[in-house]
């Protein structure tokens, strides 16, 4: 029996049209440092989006599903690219400006980007790579920055504003298949070459609806969202798409990501919501402690990317900024869970416990835990296994096949996707009977000690609760007797001195004694990946090569 419903595709174009028609007066504000912020309504932004599409098609000859890359900060022009490129049928490829240059070269070539739209301030990063990017025919430069570094480039160089000036402010957007590619983002994995995730119009549309659900971020046109999470980082968690569905205003920090400017823009523009990884918030907290500002507008803070330390969550709570944990990855668009406490816990002592989990799975994301013996585990809050997820905004493959890299080609499809198509997240955790996920580790970071698992993350969180510890990373190191044992590397706060025995005793109250590390080292800072996550393979290498001063306690 056929349904009688209209067959209307779920496309980014429909989001754009809706935003312009219904929320045309909502704004995207881009911070400019000392000058007046740049303000643009969604109607203006939509008109410039049409102009950009005309320029890409008519002047640069972008056709079909060709890839147009962006190497940009969070700003209005980047949002214009977010819509113009997919809505004309091409594919937006956001380049992570914090990737090692060899990885940037790899992904531009792998995606065969024809055009790169770049912020002027990032030309010093792009220019030296150009000789290694044979597919790039056009460079479009937006915003301040010295253009002279592009002299001698083989690719044609255009000015963004000149290119779009005078173009028609409407565009006859094609009706696209909702399953066609809209955007792509490469994972910055710590092993092997980056792997490309290709989002469809459908996946972006559905993810945007989910972001807007009341139990998710649930923003409305009364809100202004400070989008700190970069647009090259899983589409800024879907915010630039989600906001045009509901008219949420956006505040874009552009390149001003230091704690000082962030505090300043919060005080001046009064966002109600912000989204960023914990590292950024840790810096902001220090800034606000040193120099208090009026940040009272900011009541909801979405934190993801890595777990938020309890101490940080409580510190923000005390400032009136309510932190909401979320979990996701490039492969999950990224919303995989969000830690809204259940109704029965709100206002009780149990609430913080729920908020410190990774959260509940929203409608649309199915989850299961696979145990060490390949069996599926119960949701009992105790059985730890690798998390597998399924849903319409979850990746089921990588661009060009799972083993995309030649150099790092050790990745087999079965490492990332189950036989029945679920994503194997590589995250290890437990799920409670209420569906709350608590991640305990990365599958590759679990310490396998004498046939038992020790969570490196649990040890790190316990260590970071110590008043003299700034950061801590725990890795598995080989051990003759137990197979593996934990090595604790600790960054002390200014002026603190190492007392390993005291640290170990501090842990003993919280962690089973057999799990306590015997190996300790003070390090100046935890090595981080380009997106701010702990880069544990660097610590493991330093240990293996004897570069750490290890004390046995």
Q: In which region does residue 479 sit, left (phi positive, over 0), alpha (psi from -120 to 50) or beta (all else)?
A: beta
- Chain centroid to Cα 131, Å, comes to 29
Say whether 331 is catalytic. Answer: yes
Choose between 53 and 394: whose C-beta lies nearer to a copy of itself.
394
19 with 210: CB under 8 angstroms? no
| CB of 537 vs a copy of itself, minimal distance in Å | 25
Question: 478: Cβ–Cβ under 8 A, 6 or more apart, which residues?
Answer: 484
Choose between 88 and 164: whose C-beta lies nearer to a copy of itself.
88
Beta bridge mates, 251: 29, 226
Reference 358, options 442, 284, 415; nearest CA is 442
Bridge-based pairing state of the strands 38-41 and 27-30? antiparallel
Q: In 10 A of CB 257, how many CB atoms?
A: 16
Choose between 336 and 486: whose C-beta lies nearer to a copy of itself.
336
Choose between 395 and 523: whose C-beta lies nearer to a copy of itself.
395
SS3 state at 490: strand
Question: 48: Cβ–Cβ under 8 A, 6 or more apart, which residues?
Answer: 40, 80, 164, 169
Work out whether the CA dihedral 374, 380, 384, 389 comes out positive or negative: positive
Phi, psi for 249 (deg, rounded to 5): -80, 150
| CB of 19 vs a copy of itself, minimal distance in Å | 8
Which H or E element spans position 47? helix 42-54
SS3 state at 524: coil
Choose between 364 and 527: whose C-beta lies nearer to a copy of itself.
364
10 with 241: CB under 8 angstroms? no
User: Which residue of the set 453, 518, 528, 551 is catalytic?
Assistant: 453
**DSSP alpha helix (H) spans, 223-306:** 234-237, 239-246, 259-269, 278-290
Give the DSSP letter of residue 433.
T
User: Which residue of the set 17, 270, 424, 448 is catalytic?
Assistant: 448
Choose between 318 and 433: whose C-beta lies nearer to a copy of itself.
433
| CB of 67 vs a copy of itself, minimal distance in Å | 8
User: Which residue of the set 49, 187, 438, 529 is catalytic?
Assistant: 187
Rg (CA), the chain: 24
**DSSP alpha helix (H) spans, 270-376:** 278-290, 310-318, 351-356
- Compute the distance between CA of residue 104 and CA of residue 101 in angstroms, rounded to an integer: 5
| CB of 520 vs a copy of itself, minimal distance in Å | 41
Question: 421: Cβ–Cβ under 8 A, 6 or more apart, which residues?
Answer: 390, 396
User: Which residue of the set 44, 287, 331, 471 is catalytic?
Assistant: 331
**How long is the chain?**
553
Give the DSSP letter of residue 59.
I
Say whether 493 is catalytic. Answer: no
Choose between 156 and 170: whose C-beta lies nearer to a copy of itself.
170
* Residues with catalytic function: 187, 331, 448, 453
């Amino acid at each position: 029996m056929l349904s009688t419903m209209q067959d209307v595709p779920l496309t980014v174009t429909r989001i754009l049209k809706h935003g312009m028609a219904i929320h045309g007066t909502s704004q995207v504000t881009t911070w400019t440092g000392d000058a007046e912020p740049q303000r643009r309504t969604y109607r203006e932004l939509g008109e410039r989006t049409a102009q950009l599409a005309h320029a890409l098609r008519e002047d640069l000859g972008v056709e079909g599903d060709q890839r147009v890359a962006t190497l940009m900060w969070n700003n209005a022009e980047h949002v214009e690219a977010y819509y113009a490129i997919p809505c004309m049928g091409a594919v937006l490829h956001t380049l992570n400006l914090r990737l090692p240059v060899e990885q940037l070269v790899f992904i531009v070539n792998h995606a065969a980007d024809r055009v790169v739209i770049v912020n002027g301030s990032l030309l010093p990063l792009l220019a030296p790579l150009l000789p290694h990017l044979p597919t790039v025919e056009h460079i479009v430069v937006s915003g301040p920055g010295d253009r002279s570094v592009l002299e001698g480039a083989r690719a044609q160089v255009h000015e963004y504003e000149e290119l779009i000036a005078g173009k028609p402010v409407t565009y006859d957007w094609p009706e696209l298949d909702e399953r066609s590619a809209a955007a792509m983002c490469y994972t910055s994995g710590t092993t092997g070459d980056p792997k490309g995730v290709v989002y469809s119009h459908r996946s972006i549309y559905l993810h945007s609806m989910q972001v807007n659900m009341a139990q998710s971020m649930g923003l409305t046109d009364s809100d202004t969202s400070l989008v700190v999470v970069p647009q090259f980082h899983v589409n800024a968690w879907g915010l630039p798409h989600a906001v045009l569905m509901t008219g949420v205003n956006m505040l874009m920090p552009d390149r001003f990501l230091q704690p000082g400017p962030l505090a300043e823009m919060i005080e001046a523009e009064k966002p109600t919501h912000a989204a960023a990884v914990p590292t950024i918030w840790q810096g902001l907290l220090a800034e606000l402690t040193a120099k208090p500002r009026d940040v009272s507008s900011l009541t909801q803070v979405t934190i993801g990317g890595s777990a938020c330390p309890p101490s940080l969550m409580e510190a923000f709570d005390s400032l009136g900024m309510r932190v909401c944990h979320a979990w996701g990855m490039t492969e999950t668009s990224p919303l995989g869970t969000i830690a809204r406490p259940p109704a029965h816990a709100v206002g009780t002592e149990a609430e913080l416990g729920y908020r410190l989990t990774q959260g509940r799975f929203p409608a649309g994301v199915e989850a299961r835990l696979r145990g060490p013996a390949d069996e599926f585990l119960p949701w009992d809050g105790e059985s730890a296994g690798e998390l597998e997820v399924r849903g319409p905004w979850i990746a089921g493959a990588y661009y060009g096949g799972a083993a995309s890299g030649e150099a790092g080609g050790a990745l087999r499809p079965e490492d990332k996707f189950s036989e029945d198509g679920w994503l194997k997240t590589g995250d290890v955790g437990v799920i409670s009977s209420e569906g709350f996920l608590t991640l305990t580790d990365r599958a590759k970071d679990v310490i396998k000690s004498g046939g038992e698992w020790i969570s490196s993350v649990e040890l790190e969180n316990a260590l970071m609760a110590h008043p003299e510890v700034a950061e801590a990373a725990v890795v598995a190191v080989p051990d003759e007797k137990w197979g593996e044992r934990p090595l604790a590397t600790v960054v002390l706060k200014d002026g603190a001195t190492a007392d390993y025995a005291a640290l170990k005793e501090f842990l003993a109250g919280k962690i089973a004694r057999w799990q306590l590390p015997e190996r300790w080292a003070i390090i100046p800072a935890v090595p981080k990946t380009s997106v701010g996550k702990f880069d544990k393979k660097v610590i493991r290498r330093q240990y293996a090569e004897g570069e750490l001063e290890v004390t046995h306690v």
